[in-house]
Amino acid sequence: MLNILWSVFIILSVMYAILFGTIEELNTGIFTSLSGAVELSITFLGTICLWTGIMKIVQNTSIIKKLNKLLKPLINFLFPDLKNNEAVKQEISMNMIANILGLGNAATPLGIKAMKTMQKENRKKDTLTNSMMMFIVINTASIQLIPTNVIAIRTSLNSQNPTSIIIPVWIATVFAAFMGILLTKILIKRVK
Amino acid sequence: MANIVNYISNATIPVIIVLIILYGIKDNVRVFDIFLDGAKEGIEIVFKMFPTLLGIFLAVGTLRASGLVDMIIKLITPITNLLEIPSNILPIAILRPISGSASMAVAVDIMKNYGVDTLTGLITSTIMGSTETTFYTIAIYTSAVGIKKTRGILLAALAADLAGMIVSTIICRILS
């Protein structure tokens, strides 16, 4: 997908620049973009490392246990089919906590583990179960307590107020997650 | 009033950091060692992202410098005006579900060009914070267990993204 898009973008730009006489701007544009990427990565490095470091501390505290408890009723509501399968529920809970804390790198391996455990109980091995559908949709809705990456970018771009987006992000996420969950519940009911 | 709001948002990050450190000390975590461990992971993230960032910056940079972007934005503005979405955030809306690092790079480009704290910048940030790389997520979880029949979850997930994006635009409009 990006292979095609990327080439098309560059080819079209150069052709357009030749036709409309902006080739000089394009030439300088190439090199300012490159140094822009380097500059950004360096400022990025500081802020991203700060947050991965801080979040690693969170991972090692009892905050995790507390979140686990808080999530229990929600997980029971979202995954009614997993009634007594505490092991899967635990894995799902860990995945959700990693997502909530913005630990994308930790969330994916945990999520794959949960998927594999659910697949063991799956009777139709080529089709998603109800619980798997819900699980994936929740993972596509990014539920985050602190959107650290975005804050890091805003900080490196010298925002006056990098954290001002936290509350808008919460509201938007809740709406998105609600929409996803609702539609999945409908899909589960319809496509038996 | 504005001063108080400003104070709170300035205090958010330092206070969060202090709370987490205090909590860590309470739980007997070797906070500095663990912090270093985590920071190391941060280096990896940035290193892995750099090639994509560079590639996308190159493509987007040529698009912008050639004048093609301005031309396209002029063309679609009547439509986006109708929907009351700033037209310069459209690239994000389209790229976001497809590629995480590519959309991140485009988001940075948009915020650099139109300002981080402008309405456009705020909407871009909110969309980036509240949505996920839907295609990638579905692909990774279904392929991990070798499942092909997904019973239409792509639709549900994309509708959720769309809802998130619309709400992001509305909220940023109200708050700014």
Distance CA B138, CA A19 (A): 41
Q: Kindly provide the residue ranges of all beta strands, DSSP E only, lying in A5-140, ordered along the sequence.
A: none
Q: Does a structural domain hold residue A2? A: no
pLDDT for A179 = 95
Contact state of B62 with A9 under an 8 Å Cβ cutoff = yes
Our count of domains for chain A comes to 1
Nearest alpha-carbon partner for B152 in A2, A114, A189: A189
Alpha-carbon span A180 to B155, nearest angstrom: 9
Which residue range(s) make up the domain with A100? 36-190
Grouped pLDDT means (10 residues each) for chain A, 192 residues? 82 94 92 87 83 86 87 92 86 88 77 91 91 94 82 88 89 94 92 56
pLDDT in tens, B51-62: 877 888 898 889
- State residue A163's pLDDT score: 86
Say if residue B11's pLDDT is above 80: no
**Residue A19 lies inside a defined structural domain of this protein:** no
Q: Tell me whether residue A171 is in a domain.
A: yes
- List chain A residues with CB under 8 Å of B96: none
What CA–CA distance (Å, rounded) separates B24 from A53?
12
Is the pLDDT confidence value at B14 over 60?
yes
Selected for mutation to probe chain B from A136, A156, A174, A178 (highest B CB count within 10 Å) is A136
Tokens linked to A180: 């996803």
Select from A49, A58, A168 the Cβ nearest to the Cβ of B126.
A168
Tell me the one-letter amino acid at B71. M
Burial A2-34 (b: 16+ CB within 10 A, else e): beebbeebbeebbebbeeeebeeebeebbeebe
- CA–CA separation, B88 vs B23, rounded Å? 42
* Domain-located, residue A49: yes
Nearest to B62 among A10, A38, A58 (CB): A10
Contact flag A52-B42 (C-beta cutoff 8 Å): yes
Considering only CB atoms, which chain B residues are within 8 Å of A49? Answer: 38-40, 42-43, 46
At A176 the pLDDT is 94
Q: What region does A158 belong to: left with phi over 0, alpha with psi -120 to 50, or beta?
A: left
Q: Please list, in sequence order, all residues whose beta carbon lies within 8 angstroms of the beta carbon of residue B51, skipping any fewer than 6 positions away.
A: none
Measured in angstroms, the CA of A75 and the nearest CA of chain B are apart by 18
Q: How confident is the model at residue B5 (pLDDT cuts 50, 70, 90)?
A: low
Q: Which residue of B has its CA nearest to A1?
A: B98
| A46, B133, A94, A192: CA torsion to nearest 10 | 180
Does residue A24 lie in a domain region?
Answer: no
Which is higher by pLDDT, A131 or B175?
Answer: A131
Nearest to B137 by CA among A188, A111, A6, A144: A111
User: Distance from B110 to chain A by nearest Cα, in Å?
Assistant: 11
The pLDDT of residue B4 is above 80:
no
| Cross-chain residue pair B125–A191, CB shorter than 8 Å | no
Q: Which residue of B has its CA nearest to A148?
A: B129
Residue A153 CB partners (closer than 8 Å, separation 6+): A44, A47, B104, B107, B108, B111, B125, B128
User: What is the pLDDT, as a whole number, of residue A27?
Assistant: 94
Residue A12 included in any domain: no
CA atoms of A51 and A72, how far apart (whole Å): 27
Q: Read off the pLDDT band of B115 (50, 70, 90).
A: very high
Question: In this structure, is residue A145 part of a structural domain?
Answer: yes
Residue numbers of A between 46 and 85 with CB closer than 8 Å to B: 48-63
A106 in a structural domain: yes
Contacts of A4 (CB under 8 A, 6+ apart): none
For residue B33, is pLDDT > 90? yes
In this predicted structure, the answer to whether residue B9 has a pLDDT above a threshold of 80 is no
The reported pLDDT for the residue numbered A188 is 92
DSSP conformation class of A62: T
Put simply, the answer to whether A30 touches B153 (Cβ < 8 Å) is no
Is A2 within 8 Å of chain B by CB? yes
Interchain pair A153, B104: CB under 8 A:
yes
Q: B165: pLDDT confidence band, cut at 50, 70 and 90?
A: very high
